[in-house]
Structure 1
Amino acid sequence: MVATFMPLILSPVVYFLGKRKGINITTWLTFGTLAISTVLVIIPCIGLGSGGSYQEVFDWSQLGHFGLKLDGLSIPFAITIYLLSTIIVIYSKPYMIRKILLQYEQLKSSSNLEMNDAESELYSNKDGKSFSSLVLSTDQKSYLNSQLGLYYSLYLVFAMGMLGTVLATNLFEFYVFFELMLVPSFFLIAFFGYGNKKRTSLMFFFWAHVGAVILLLGLMAMGFLTGGFDYDTVRANASQIPQAWIAVIVAALIIGFGVKLAAFLVHVWLPDTYTDAPTPISVLISSAMTGIGAYGLIRIWIELLSGPGNYTDYSIYITIWGVATMIYGGAMALMQKDIKRVLAYSSISSMGYLLFGIGSESVLGLSGAIFMYVTHALGKGLLFMMAGSVILQTGTRNMDKLGGLGGKMPYTAVFAMIGGLTIIGVPITSGFMSEWVLFNGALQDAVVNWSAVKAVSFALAITTTILTSAYILWMYKRIFYGITPETLKNVRDSSKYVLVTMGILASLTLVLGLYPDLFYKPIIGYVESLYPDSDVLIPVKITPGTGQVNDEPTNTTQASNVAFSGGTDYPRTYPLAKSQVDHPTTF
């Protein structure tokens, strides 16, 4: 509870202290608030093991109980959201200082110039000077303090909304937090964005709100037809929902969460939003917020409405939708010349991977999709931070005006390569472990069901990884290799604020690549518990040495052992749902 609401409570304090005391206290108070909250989220996760959960429940109203729950699904999402939010606070400081000072110059000159390519010399850092060397007037300092205080206060509310969404245990509570993500992100784009930021923020708000309203209709129907809005109540009474209503509810959930995921055909809001948002906010929207749509599909659709008629009948369409999203996003990314626009379409493609895993109907496929959220956050976060670093130092994000920066910005180049390899899925990054498990599960599902459609979908999806490699490496080459333009001869690497934060994310993706069980143990324990008495999500088991499919009921733990060990003999077991230990705290 404290971890969830402390950022919200302290957000006005950050704003007023920022106006009066300056940028340093604003930055470090925001960082401290989120750092403490992150630790408070991690502490209950320690010792839960596979299948465990921690829950706080409070009496609320006729709508049910207000609860916050950490389990195998919410743990990777919650830790990723708050860890990224904490790190990006530090990254934001040099970036937003220069962005706000540029806005001040535009206002002072009554200029209507929309900064699509960071034209201002003030924004560029080609001389290698830090902000501390700039001499600011009293008016500049006042404007900077006020705007940075506003930025960080909205930032805290944004982070709180994302965390609350993935911890909620009540449909109405979920929707409240879901909307709380939308409002501060809208203002962050409208106040601090680029280009035609007002149009972009309104388009973002319109699409997100329409998706949320459609989602609300589905959530209300679920609550009324099951006799309550608490997750436990909905899950226990899901069988009472008339079959005619199931299709309507599932459609509402898929559309609502599909818009949040920016899946193919409902992705219109994403490219401009990612491009025109300030880069630190692009990092959070891309790495943390967008993937919450996948969380919603798993938690509210698959978990609460689980059953052959509620999930299995639709999974093939989710698989096809995921593959289409992967291909479209990758193909469009390959055609862009704006760094942030490449990464925007790359994010669409990455969300396709999550949809593809969700549609796989296997323990490993679903587990890989959940872990893919974490690896996408780390890899795409690094790449967006690279884009911000390049903008800070060169004054442009147009790749036609860049080149040869590998020798000028070596640390940024190394961290960007680690981020790119994570998105591609190269060992020893975390991206490899998520893709390996996801595709393993998808292939097993196609073999078990002898589905030609899923087999073709798998082939197309695995081929899309080549497209992913193409646009990532092409972007990297255009930025860091080749001849350095004469105007960029004096460019230097970014400040320690940028490089240290990028280094942390790069380290995390390598650590998770070597030790994926840090997240996989709780994830697989959760996924196995979704269907403890059914073989719907149980992958095929090949009897060693025979090449024959074992027709006997397959233990999901054994199947997981085969996937993770690569055929070796050492055991890696995960407890099943029947050994799950819950640790509720009721108030």
Structure 2
Amino acid sequence: MVDSSYYLMVATFMPLILSPVVYFLGKRNGINITTWLTFGILAISTTLVIIPAVDLGSGGSYQEVFNWSQLGHFGLKLDGLSIPFAITIYLLSTIVVIYSKPYMIRKILLQYDQVKNSSELEINDAESELYSFKDGKPLSSLISSTDQKSYLNSQMGLYYSLYLVFAMGMLGTVLATNLFEFYVFFELMLVPSFFLIAFFGYGKRKRTSLMFFFWAHVGAVILLLGLMAMGFLAGGFDYDIVKANASQIPQAWIAVIVAALVIGFGVKLAAFLVHVWLPDTYTDAPTPITVLISSIMTGIGAYGLIRIWIELLSGPGNYTDYSVYVSIWGVATMIYGGAMSLMQKDIKRVLAYSSISSMGYLLFGIGSESVLGISGAIFMYVTHALGKGLLFMMAGSIILQTGTRNMDKLGGLGGKMPYTAVFAMIGGLTIIGVPITSGFMSEWVLFNGALQNAVVDWSTLKAVSFALAITTTILTSAYILWMYKRIFYGITPETLKNVRESSKYVLVTMGILASLTLILGLYPDLFYKPIIGYVENLYDNSNEIIPVKIKPGIGQVDEKLTNNTQPSNVAFPGGGELQRTQLMSENQVGHSNTI
């Protein structure tokens, strides 16, 4: 049994420690041991994250703290913000392990053919010929030589070992309690994802991986400057110290720090104007890795904005003065991503620009200056992960079964691949925001909060931003439904007459994500209770940020709260009333050791 004081420590570092074991066992014993060992490691780690999260209920926090160095303490913390991010990261990572197996077997065998033939073929529609003769056959029939089997085992071992480090870096980022610790984990996301694209990607994968690394690293360096300034001027790098001493940071530095944070996290979010790295990365990365980058890694930029900017620096002029510009930036990102999605014929490229648009929703919610707007943005991270994860899995399924991702060469696959079609529709409706999917619950709360804030402030700029943002949902519906029609309806091309449904590995994992988005659509309290409790505490602890409250069950603006006013309850669709909770409670665990 794991000591209850080490749940998060084990969950975070077990994948890193065991990643070399996965590589060597996979290289020696084959792909089955590699796949199921990786799955087991992440399943156990996910459970260790969920256990303390369940104990917290709708409020409080769980924290493991260790003595570290002159830079402060090493800590891992679960609260209303990190819970949805951490659970989503590890849950998706665990599920995609299974999805990866059939996809990466064929991808690696294709690369073996290229290496054997000394070919640098860019795999675009040429992959149809290379995939078609292999698809649908058992593994034994795909491997024709000992060298081929050895190459497959070695590459699968490498893939899953990098995969574990990638997942670990994402989790550590959202659990960190120290600025330096946060940055270390933030960079740990970058390194394995760079190698996963460079080793296993499509097309000009080396060039794409370098572009991805360049943009991500530039954003990270700018972010580092802001984090260092925060730590030095606040007298420490621990979150608690920075938050307690934020008022001592000279105002002349605030604008510089905020700019560094917004640009650094904006690059991670692939917001408009700093999105250049995303389309090629999503298109050329192997689809299972695209699922992770799109659904869970990119959105971590939103986590950083909330945790490090709003929570740690929220004070007079530190958030309110800039929030409306973040909101406008979000609207521009939504519109640009949606418009570009309509112009694509490559499935993965449609979804790549769609992800840019989705990140715009998160930025818009963060800039809304309201409890409901920010809460909706946090929940949007979860719903985007489920919906976009489903759609990218659909893209991978189409590639496996047809050998192409060009929609001009597809059509009528609904009858050939009915389960894939159903799961893809659920994913599409989640992104659009249709009841009873989780996407509806996130968009409803997000837009509700943004509208309330615009009405209370009588701000024309905020009202126009809201109108443009809500109109963008029509654009989202257009490109999702247009893509779906071109793939699953119409006349099936002669070359695809013999296409059949994907393997059980693909269908089961898609089915799990589809079920989760429907469950959260019906029971949003599973995440909304801790989320809204956390965001309300952000407003309580700020002298500047003033939340918009609504009367339970009415959904109309009630009043603005000041620090001396007793709060009313918050009502939201499907959630009923939510009582105020304290950020730190008896559930907090403090454990001190020396590392």
Aligned-residue offset at 1:129: 2.6
Q: Is the 8 A contact 1:322 1:353 kept in 2?
A: yes
Equivalent-residue separation in structure 2 for 1:474 and 1:531 (angstroms): 41
User: For 2:546 and 2:47, how far apart are their aligned partners in 1?
Assistant: 34
- 2:318 and 2:280 map into 1 onto residues whose CA distance is 35
The structure-2 alpha-carbon separation of the partners of 1:218 and 1:338, relative to structure 1 and needing over 3 Å to count, comes to same
Q: What one-letter code is carried by the residue in structure 2 that aligns with 1:108?
A: K
Is 2:416 the partner of 1:408? yes
Residue type of the alignment partner of 2:114 = Q
* Equivalent position amino acid for 1:299 in 2: R
Q: Which residue of 1 aligns with 2:517?
A: 509
Cα deviation for residue 112 of structure 1 reads 1.9
Q: 1:197 to 1:127 in 2, by over 3 A?
A: closer
Corresponding letter in the other structure for 1:433: M
Q: How does 1:73-84 map to 2 (within 5 A)?
A: 73-84=81-92
Which residue is 2:136 aligned to? 128
Q: Which moved more, 1:172-181 or 1:539-548?
A: 539-548
State the number of aligned residues. 581
When residues 446 and 489 of structure 1 are mapped into structure 2, their CA distance, relative to the original with a 3 A threshold, is: same
Is 2:224 the partner of 1:211?
no
What are the equivalent positions in structure 2 for 1:200-279 lying under 5 Å apart?
200-279=208-287
Q: Which amino acid aligns with 1:180?
A: L
Q: 2:292 aligns with which of 280, 284, 295?
A: 284
Structure-2 residue corresponding to 1:33: 41
Alignment of 1:416-565 (within 5 A): 416-532=424-540, 534=543, 536-541=545-550, 550=559, 556-558=567-569, 560-561=570-571, 563-564=572-573
Give the corresponding residue for 2:579.
574
What secondary structure, in the 3-state scheme, does the structure 1 residue paired with 2:76 have? Answer: strand
Q: Output the CA distance in 2 between the equivalents of 1:528 and 1:448.
A: 18
Runs of 5+ in structure 2 lacking a partner? 1-8
Q: CA deviation at 1:114?
A: 1.1
User: Which residues of 2 match residues 178-197 of structure 1 at below 5 A?
Assistant: 178-197=186-205
Q: CA deviation at 1:448?
A: 1.0
Q: Deviations over 1:455-478 (max 9, x none)?
A: 000000000000000000000000
Q: Is the 8 A contact 1:286 1:380 kept in 2?
A: yes
Q: TM-score, normalised by structure 1?
A: 0.96
Q: What residue number does 2:349 align with?
A: 341
CA drift at 1:572: 2.0
CA distance in 1, matches of 2:586, 2:369: 25
**Secondary structure of the equivalent of 2:271?**
coil
**1:384 counterpart residue number:** 392
Amino acid at match of 1:399: M
CA distance in 2: counterparts of 1:119 and 1:443, whole angstroms: 48
Change (3 A) 1:125 1:77: farther
Q: In 2, Cα distance between the equivalents of 1:477 and 1:347?
A: 19
Q: Which residue of 2 aligns with 1:399?
A: 407
Question: Displacement of 1:577 after TM fit?
Answer: 3.0
Report the CA distance between 1:479 and its aligned residue. 0.2
The separation in 2 between residues aligned to 1:544 and 1:220, in whole angstroms, is 45
Q: CA deviation at 1:539?
A: 1.1
Classify 1:510/1:294 alpha carbon distance in 2 versus 1 (closer, same or farther; 3 Å).
Answer: same
- Alpha-carbon distance between aligned partners in 1 of 2:31 and 2:126, rounded to the nearest angstrom: 23
Q: Which residue pairs with 1:355 in the alignment?
A: 363
Q: What SS does the aligned partner of 1:577 have?
A: coil
Cα deviation, residue 46, structure 1: 1.1
State the TM-score, normalizing by the size of structure 2: 0.95
Mapped partners of 2:390, 2:126: distance in 1: 21
8 Å contact kept, 1:363–1:556: no
Structure 1 residues 549 and 374: alpha-carbon distance in aligned structure 2, compared to 1, 3 A threshold: closer
Measured after TM superposition, the shift of residue 26 of structure 1 is 0.4
Matched residues in 2 for 1:129 and 1:30: separation? 24
Q: What secondary structure, in the 3-state scheme, does the structure 1 residue paired with 2:304 have?
A: helix
Q: CA RMSD, aligned part only?
A: 1.8
How far apart, CA to CA, are the structure 2 residues paired with 1:579 and 1:289?
27
Cα distance between partner residues in 2 of 1:135 and 1:191: 20
Are 1:306 and 2:314 matched, yes or no? yes
The code of the aligned residue for 1:110 comes to S
3-state SS of paired residue (2:573): helix
1:434 maps to amino acid: S
What does residue range 119-198 of structure 1 map to in structure 2 within 5 Å? 119-124=127-132, 128-198=136-206
Q: In the alignment, residue 538 of structure 1 is paired with which amino acid? A: P
Q: Aligned partner of 1:375: which letter?
A: T
* Alignment CA distance shift 1:556-1:360 (3 Å): farther
TM-superposed CA distance for 1:416, in Å, is 0.2
Please state how far the C-alpha of 1:542 moved relative to its aligned partner.
6.2
| Equivalent residue, structure 2, for 1:18 | 26
Query: In 1, Cα distance between the equivalents of 2:263 and 2:444?
Result: 28
Identity %: 85
Superposed displacement of residue 574, structure 1:
2.6
